[in-house]
């Protein structure tokens, strides 16, 4: 897989005004294959059109297969 450059602009509308958001409260991502602690999801959002440019979990190691 190619390394993706850090998002700096919205691929949809071209705006470079990106904001950061996350699910609040208990809406975290949990591992699908086993029970365990989940992780917060962080989103990079275009503040112009609302497009979600990136979404990722804060602690990806929790999703590793054992």
Please state the closest distance from residue 21 (CB atom) to Zn ion, in A: 14
Buried b (16+ CB within 10 A) or exposed e, 15-39: eeebeeeeeeeeebbebeeeeeebb
Among residues 7, 13, 22, 27, the one that binds Zn ion under rule CB under 5 A: 13
Looking at 3-11, 19-27, 35-43, 57-65, which segment touches Zn ion (CB under 5 A)? 3-11
Based on the shown chain and the rule CB under 5 A, indicate whether residue 40 belongs to the binding site for Zn ion.
no
Asked whether position 51 contacts Zn ion by CB under 5 A, the answer is: yes
């Amino acid at each position: 897989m190619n390394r993706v450059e850090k998002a700096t602009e919205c691929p949809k509308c071209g705006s470079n005004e990106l904001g950061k958001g996350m699910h609040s409260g208990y809406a975290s991502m949990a591992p699908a294959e086993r029970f365990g602690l989940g992780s917060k999801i962080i989103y990079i959002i275009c503040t112009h059109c609302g497009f979600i440019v990136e979404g990722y979990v804060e602690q990806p190691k929790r999703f590793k297969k054992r």
